[in-house]
Each structure stands twice: as structure tokens, then as C-alpha cells.
Structure 1
């Protein structure tokens, strides 16, 4: 059988060729790590689409409860929603209720004071990602508040980075275990006895197991406080085990125990079998058992992440499992082939051809499942180009296209190997290679040994001559190996594939922590619909009290037509009894804090008793505007009252 002989097992070659490969791979992994570390914290996969009271609303009296509506179902426990009064004290009963239709409520304590209240929430979306945010509403009138919320987003900070790294290595470990085992069983049975291949698959198992344990420990701080110390809180770990994600991670650990037994048999009893019938039967058994374990491990991702929620979840989960297995068979087999080309004395050309067919089948499966997943998660052309998920998906598709292009080059190098040695048949070409290698060995053995007397200096000289002779022998064998451009080309193209695959895996990991484009657009539409419930001119009534004699009243603002562009503003000031109140001065300003716009001052003209107006008031963009009204009732008594309103 024809062999591809990339390297001998000499210590010299292990010290020269492989470090270059390792350095290249380390650079790629380091760049990937920087890419992951520089990524933004995991985006929420559920969005707050409405609340009661609404954000920025001023209600005349305290409601019985605060309601929050999300774009999809979320996991919420007691304490997930906090309502804080202006002094920063808890104003809720700490008990949350599922009200149905993705709406959740938390009851408020009786006897709450007037002022601005802050609602802070931190929940977990149906696909396992943390969601956090806050908004305010006021009872009676807006006021100052002492509430200071943490700047860190849910899933961010050091814990978020560590969680994403563990997620990346869990994918990498799965690919090496499943893909390496598939390569050995389906393409290169002799590889079961090759030590570097054994180490690759074993290291993949260790990586996946360690990453899964890290994900399990980091889960509590990742979805909760964000403090690394909480990873070792056994009480919070127990809470994690009762969640869908916790159950998936524990199931993965149990399946990895079965995978350890599979690896032991593959590299033990299977490798030692010499009877063809026994080996065939064992191959069949390992293929069935390994497939069941691989499908089970892949399902632990499908049951807890994107595929488990949203549109057609019953179909999406098995498609996701098939997608993961195809990725592992392709990229894991590629990594195993790379190790075989660089770290083993020979690999059969037939094995490379079998893997080429396996990789082609995997790409076809990836294309079909990926197309369905893209439609399901994106849903529209606008989401494909206008959302972070869609843009990342385009990057991933581009990398896959490049990877397939490089793989086609590898296939061509594989085809050329059969024509090596002057167009000889594969068997004859193999004979030429063996003859060349045998000639080197004969030359080494026929050289007369150098005899030197024993002694300290002579012993050192003898050792030096031995090292020189070993180096010369390695150089001769290297020239024989490198004389074949087809094998060198195959090694380079496979190494390039592996480098692209590392980056592709990083992009895929980030993609799993990014809000799907379909969800983002649906949440935006729901939020927009809620904001546009008001129609016609905007009317606001705000009570004021300057603190002086005859300093109380109500100011009413009418903004017509109440949208972006030019508006007419009318201001009416009335006493508590409803009569017109003529005061020395009234001023208005508009601020859009989310866009750092404003304050935009407006100086209205006095029209009649208690009536001021201004024409051409420009509202440059739609949003939740803060409207500040300054009322002066005497030379020294004045107050500024504020209220939020959706304009545009």
C-alpha cells in the first residue's frame, strides 16, 4: 500500500520541524484568544419589550405590582427583579410571578413614598444566556434617586471572558475526540496504534472534560453576581444543577465517562486485534457505541442553547446535533491528519483518500444544516446585514468558503500522490520510496564507526561525533522526504486548513453568544410597537412646588404633532384650583440621554395669562426624551421638574 512518509522518528526532526508547527499554531490560537477576549459581553437572547408602569412613566399612585414582558420565555427566580425606592431601599416583596405570555410580575410593598423608583432585573433567557437591565418610573412626580446600579453587564467582566474561553475549548475538545476517533475507525485503522494520534484524541477528551467542569462551576457567577468567588459556592452550584443548562452539563460529564471507556477500547483491545474477523466485529461495535455517545454529547448543546427555543425547536435540535457531528468529523479528522503528516513515519494514501470523501460528505451536511439554521436564526435579508448575528454569520460563511477552497487544493495534492515517482502506479511508487529510505539506512550502517580511546576528553569527543553522525543521517533522510513535492504540498495545505479551522471555531463560539438576528428584529418591532401606541399630539401634566408662598401648581405641555421635525409647543400653568397662573418665567429643555443629544433649550413667548408658546421646536430624532420644565414663581423661588416621554 502506498504511504506518505513525512517524517522519521529521529529526535533531531522532532526538535526542528515540530516546533515550527507548534509556533504557528500557538500564534493562531493566541490571535483567536485576543479575538474572544476583545469581544463584547454576551448579548441578551431575550429582550424586554414592555413594562407596566412603562419606562419613564409618572403614575398618580403606587401600582400593586410591576410587570415585565420579554420577547421570549425567561428563567426567573425570587429576587431576579428588584424595585428600589428613591433612597435605594427594596420596595418589592421579593416574590416573582409568571403571568403568562412571557410576562412576569413582582408585587410592591404598601405605603410607598412618591418619587422615582428603579426597576432592575437579571434573568436567564431560554437559550441559557443572561439578560440584565434597568429602567425607572415615578409615583406622583419625578425625584432624585440614590440608586447606583453596577456598570458590568450580565455575562461580562472576567467571569464572562473565562466562560467564553471554556465554551471555546469545550467545542475544540469535542471536535478532537469525535473527529479523531472517526478518522481512526473510518479512514486509518492502523492509526489506533500510533502514539501521537492516541495523544491527540486523549487530550481532546481531557480538554472537553475540563472545559465542561469549568462551565458548570462558572455558571452561577456568569448568570448571577459576576463574582469569581461564587464559582465555589456549593449552594449556588446546587441551584445551577436544577436548571436546564446545569442538567445538560451534568449529562455531558456522564457521557464523557462512557467516552473514556470507548477511547480505552479503541487504543487498547482494538489496536491489539490481529484476526481480521474479530477486528471487523469490534470495529462495528465501536462505531455503534461511539456514534451513540457522540450524538448524546452533541445533544447536550442542542438541548440548552439556540436550537432549544424559538421557531421549530423540535426540528432544530436534531438538525443542530447533525451539524455538530459534521463539524467534528471534518475538522477533527483534519487535525488528526495534520498530526499524522507531521508526527508519524507514514500514513497510507488510501487513508487520505477516505478522509477526503468523509470531509466532502461532511461539507454537504454542513451546507444543508447550516442553511436551515441560518434561515431559522436570521429570517430576513435585513437581519442578515443589519444585526451583529447576521454579520458574524457572513464572516463564518466566508471562512467556510475559504476552508472548502483550501480543502479542494488538498484533494488535488492527494490525487497527485498516486502519480509520483515518474507516473508509476501506487504500489511501484511506494516501492521507490521504500527503496530510497532503505538506501539511507544501508549507507548509515556501512559507515565505519569512529573508534576513540576512553577517557574524559575522549568520551566527550566520541559523544560529539555521534551527535554529528545522527545529524547527518537525519539530513539525508530529510532530503529523501522533501524530494517529493506532492507530500510537501499536502502538508502545507492541511496546515492551512487547520489554521482557518481554529479561527472558524472562534467565530462560531462568539456566534453562539450573540443574539439571533430574528430575535433582535422581533424585539425591536415589539418595542417600537409599544412606543407607538400613543398617537396624535403629546400632552404632559406635571405638578410643581417652588417652596415659596403661592408656589404650587401644575404645568401642562402640549407638543403638536409630537414627532420628529418641527413642532408647536404650548405651555399652560394653572393653580391648584385650576385657574390660570401667571408666573414670571417658564423655560423648557429636551434631552435624549441615550444618544447624548441635548439639552435643547426652548424659550417660549408669553401669549396670555398662564399661557406660553413656541413655534418650530425641533426634535431631531425619535427616542425617549427627558423634558425639563423650569418654573419661577418669584424672584427667588423656582423649581425644575422633569418627565420622560416617547417622541417620534
Structure 2
């Protein structure tokens, strides 16, 4: 076994290198699709609550959600989430007029952090206030999270594959010691990966370094849905370890002592035991999709079930290859291998079929559209994973030819080695893939709201006008908010509002639109259309009374659609 350790270590380095060589994933899977007040809007009075709406259910990150008033004062209370809507109570600021900042950090339904900021204004836009601190993902966390995922997947395969051989396919006179060591290694890796996921979840939300976490933060993670599922995984691993330990204990006894035992007392892998082990294994496998993309997909019951099938098939196939390469292809009688390998080949074929079917269902749901397959990072990673899988299947076909010819020599070992090396890279890609926005969220991310828009103050001898146009894009749905004040800054209810737009340099006539007066009466609402990209002259004509009317003008630039 010692001679194979450098090779296994090399495979681990290749897989980890694949993780680090892939561009940094975007750790945000829920898009901001709206807010109240609207992003970039101007409202007449200070709200008592602001809300931010996301594309999927979210959980607030304590201490990282705030509303900052124009003078920099924090005016937000304790934020709560109801499904996909974040509710933030706010109090009236000491200086309420101006631009407010909503700064948020939440955890999406698939356990990934989402951060951002939105602005709105009360009465008049002003300089944007700054949040207390910018929150990003620390480099140590960006590296640790996919590495932990990879270790978890590696551990899972080292449990499932060798255990499948021990339960159903192990040669009677072949020592089980090597396979048992693989299972214990898999259990240890899975426990370490699970503890690592629990220990790094808070830092994904807070932006702190991997080693900067408090007991309170760990307690919050443990009490969350994510934490409870991972604690359930640890409990399942503990029970499974105890059950297997009782069976493995006999394998540590000297062979001579076991041979002297009466035949009827020699332990067997009894049928009820197998059923219990399989059920525990399936329950443990379910904890992966329950904390990933699958639970946030449109059909969670389907995606979670498919995720369990995908992981089980992966574990049987890859874990079985590792067992063959590390143990059974060396030191096992050729006559035994002639019986064993065809059975394993059928198991591997079925696993690959189920793996492919589950992968197709996952891809259809998670990618969303054919364009997302090449137009998103998730789709491109999926294609890379598929390309390596094709290479593995070619190697598997070659190995199957060796099996049919009953050849278990160096050629078969080299072919299986290629399969193991390639599947290690597939595991690495899978570890990164779960950190990248699914293709189905590309549309939501592209339509995520921002603080874009135009806010200006225009003056003339009769009045001061403050207005906001949002979002300033091609089309008919550009909302206009206008607020009118006297030159001294007091609210001024006008007798009539009107706005006009004219595309500069095209010889087109101005398009006039009315503005609807609201309550308070110095506030008006309307909309303008920008049919073509370019620079538009915006003119507000306001009659303040029966005798006095004045027009103020400015320009805005409307970009072409990307």
C-alpha cells in the first residue's frame, strides 16, 4: 500500500490544482429583484420600513444589514426575512432629506452569501452615504470552501465504493483490511469536511478570514437550517461508524484466531445489516443536495432526489475504481478476478447510466436555457466536466475490453488509473460548480436591481425642482419622480406639471407627457419613453400659479441595450 501513496497524493494535488486554477466563483445565488422604496427613487417622506426582494428565499446575516441616513447615521432596526423578502424597520433620521443607503448581507436558500447595496432619496438626492465597511469574501474563505467540498466528495466516494465491495462483491479469501482502511479514511474525510463547512459558513456571510469566527457566530450557524442538516450528517456518520466498527473489529483479529471460530459463529454481512447501512447511507447522501443548488431549484423534491441518485452513482463508480486500483487488482488470484471483474463491470455500467440520467435532469433544471450552457460560468464548467467524463468513459470502455478478454494485468491497471485520475478532476470541478451561480439564475442576475438612474436638482427664479428618472433605459417604463420647492427650500404645490423629452441631433419633435400630482402635493409621478439610444433633452414645464410658468432643462444619456 505504501508504494501507491505517492500516486494517490499526486492525484489529490491534480484535483486541488484544478480547483485553484479555475477563475474565482461568484458566491451569490439569489439576485435582488426589487426593493421598497425602489432603487434610485425619490420619495416624499421617510419610510418606517424598507424591504429588499430576492429571487429566492434568504436568511439575514446578523450585524451586516443596515440603513444609513444621508448624514451617516444608522437608523435600521433588527432585520427579518419572510421567504424572499428582507424587512428592515427604520426610524426617522435627524436630517431626513437626502440619499439613503440600504446595505445588506444575506444567505440564499442554497447556503451561499449575497451582499449588495441600494440607494433611494427622500425629498432631494444628495451625496451617497458610505456603509460602515465594505464586505467581501476573504481569500482564505474563497480557497477553503471549494477545498472543503472536494474533501467531502472524496470522503463520500471512499465510503460508498469500498463499502459496496465489502457488502456485496468482496472475494471470500481476500483480506478486507485495505478496504476497511479506505472506508475509515472516507469517514474521517467526510467528518473533517462537514466540520469545515460548519466552521466556514459564518465567514462567508461576514466577510471575515477563515480563522476569524466567534462562538456566537458558530452558534447561529448550528441553529440555522444549514447547520442542523450538517449536524444531522455528523450524527448519521457517527451511527454508521459505530455499526461498521462492530463489524470491522473482527478483521483486526489474527487470522489464526478467526479460523478456529466455529463456522456458524463467524460474522457475516447479514441481510438486515445491509439494509440498515444502505438506508443510513442514503440519508447521509441527502444532506448534500439539501444544502446546495438543489434545494433552491424550482422543483426541490425532484432535484434533491436526483442529487441523491447522482451522488450514490458517483460513489459506487469512483469509489469502486479506487478500490480496484488500490487493492483488488494487486494480490488477488487471477481466477477470482475473472469472476469478480465482470460483475463489477455490470455494476459500473449501471452506475454510469444512473449518473448520466441524473446529470441530465440536473443540467436541464439548473442550466435553464441552451444559451446559458455557453453564456454562463456554470454552463462552461458543466461542459468541461462533461468533456472529462467522455474521456473517462473511453477509458472505461477500454477497461471493459480487458475484462471481457479476462486480462487483469498492467494494461487494465493503467486504464483504471487513468479513470481514477480523471474522476479526481471531475470531483474538483464539482466542488467548484456548487459555488457558481446556476445558469437558471442568469436571467435573475442580469435583471438584478441597482441604484442606477438619474437624479438632479434644477433651479430657476420661480422654483427649485428635484427629480429622479429610473432606470434610464430603452423602452417605455422609465419612472419619473419630481419634487417642487420654493427658492428658499419650502414645499411648493404647483398648479400644473409637464415633462417633455427630445432626442438631440435627430430633428425629432419633443414628446410631451403629463405628471400626476400626488400627496404631498409638491410631489408628482410620471413616466417617459426612450425609443432610441442617445442623448435626450429633458424639459420640465411647471405652472406655479395662474400667471407664473417656467421651464427648466437638462440632458440624460440612454445607452444601447447590451
TM-score in terms of structure 1 length = 0.69
Q: Which region of structure 1 is more displaced relative to structure 2, 564-573 or 499-508?
A: 564-573
SS state of the match for residue 144, structure 1? coil
Matched, 1:392 2:381: yes
Deviation at 1:71, TM superposition (A): 1.0
SS state of the match for residue 537, structure 2? strand
Tell me if structure 2 keeps the 8 A contact 1:205–1:260.
yes
1:245-286 Cα distance to aligned partner (Å, 9 max, x none) = 101111111111122224324433368766777668525344
The counterpart of 2:421, out of the listed 495, 499, 524, is 499
Distance 1:566 1:534 in 2: 13
Task: Look up the match of 1:247.
Answer: 228
Deviation at 1:534, TM superposition (A): 7.8
The counterpart of 1:129, out of the listed 112, 126, 129, is 112
* Number of matched pairs: 501
Distance 2:51 2:62 in 1: 14
Distance 1:60 1:292 in 2: 60
Normalized per residue, the structure richer in helix is 1
Matched, 1:306 2:289: no
The counterpart of 1:68, out of the listed 44, 52, 70, is 52
> How has the CA–CA distance of structure 1 residues 579 and 536 changed in structure 2, closer, same or farther, with 3 Å as cutoff?
farther
The counterpart of 1:535, out of the listed 464, 467, 476, is 476
Distance 1:343 1:88 in 2: 70
Tell me if structure 1 keeps the 8 A contact 2:68–2:100.
yes
Task: Look up the match of 1:412.
Answer: 401
Deviation at 1:328, TM superposition (A): 0.3
Task: Look up the match of 1:334.
Answer: 321
Task: Look up the match of 2:89.
Answer: 107
> How has the CA–CA distance of structure 1 residues 539 and 321 changed in structure 2, closer, same or farther, with 3 Å as cutoff?
closer
Matched, 1:208 2:190: yes
> How has the CA–CA distance of structure 1 residues 563 and 63 changed in structure 2, closer, same or farther, with 3 Å as cutoff?
farther
Task: Look up the match of 2:506.
Answer: none
Tell me if structure 2 keeps the 8 A contact 1:540–1:558.
no
Distance 1:277 1:50 in 2: 70
Question: Structure 2: which 5+ residue stretches go unaligned?
Answer: 451-469, 503-528
Deviation at 1:515, TM superposition (A): 2.0
SS state of the match for residue 535, structure 1? strand
Matched, 1:35 2:31: no
The counterpart of 2:75, out of the listed 91, 101, 112, is 91
Task: Look up the match of 1:514.
Answer: 436
Deviation at 1:178, TM superposition (A): 1.2
Tell me if structure 2 keeps the 8 A contact 1:574–1:580.
yes
TM-score in terms of structure 2 length = 0.79
Tell me if structure 2 keeps the 8 A contact 1:80–1:121.
yes
Tell me if structure 1 keeps the 8 A contact 2:18–2:425.
yes
Task: Look up the match of 2:355.
Answer: 366
> How has the CA–CA distance of structure 1 residues 556 and 191 changed in structure 2, closer, same or farther, with 3 Å as cutoff?
farther
SS state of the match for residue 145, structure 2? helix
RMSD: 3.6
Question: Structure 1: which 5+ residue stretches go unaligned?
Answer: 1-8, 419-485, 582-609, 624-648
SS state of the match for residue 206, structure 1? helix
The counterpart of 1:163, out of the listed 118, 141, 145, is 145
Distance 1:281 1:26 in 2: 34
SS state of the match for residue 571, structure 1? strand
Q: Rg larger in 1 or in 2?
A: 1
> How has the CA–CA distance of structure 1 residues 562 and 156 changed in structure 2, closer, same or farther, with 3 Å as cutoff?
farther
